[in-house]
Amino acid sequence: MTVKQTTKTSRMSRRRRLHIVPAPEPRPEPMHPAERRMRDAGGPDDRACYSCACGYLFEARVTAAVRCPNCGAQQAW
């Protein structure tokens, strides 16, 4: 009696490739660098363009006391 060994299946199972899970993608930055810079600067809406009576045009943060860097006059807001 000859027993046919079916080594085929066992070899196949041994050769079965391991399922390699790809490394998870790095988490996206919580905030865009440009947006962070803008927020650090006080936000995009905190600055305004002022035109002083002396003719000097400048951009400054919107505060109660904005002074002209040229003549020092307080600006209306």
Report the C-alpha gap between 58 and 32 in whole angstroms.
27
Q: What are phi and psi of 12, to 5 degrees?
A: -65, -45
CB of 47 to Zn ion, least distance (A): 17
Residue 31 within binding range of Zn ion, rule CB under 5 A: no
Residue 71 within binding range of Zn ion, rule CB under 5 A: yes
Q: Which stretch binds Zn ion (CB under 5 A): 9-17, 20-28, 44-52, 59-67?
A: 44-52
Residue 66 within binding range of Zn ion, rule CB under 5 A: no
Mind spelling out the 3-state secondary structure of 43-70?
A: CCCCEEEEECCCCCEEEEECCCCEECCC
Residue type (1 letter), 73: A
Taking CB under 5 A as the criterion, the residue among 56, 61, 62, 77 binding Zn ion is 56
Please identify, using beta-carbon distances, which residue of 31 and 54 lies nearer to Zn ion.
54
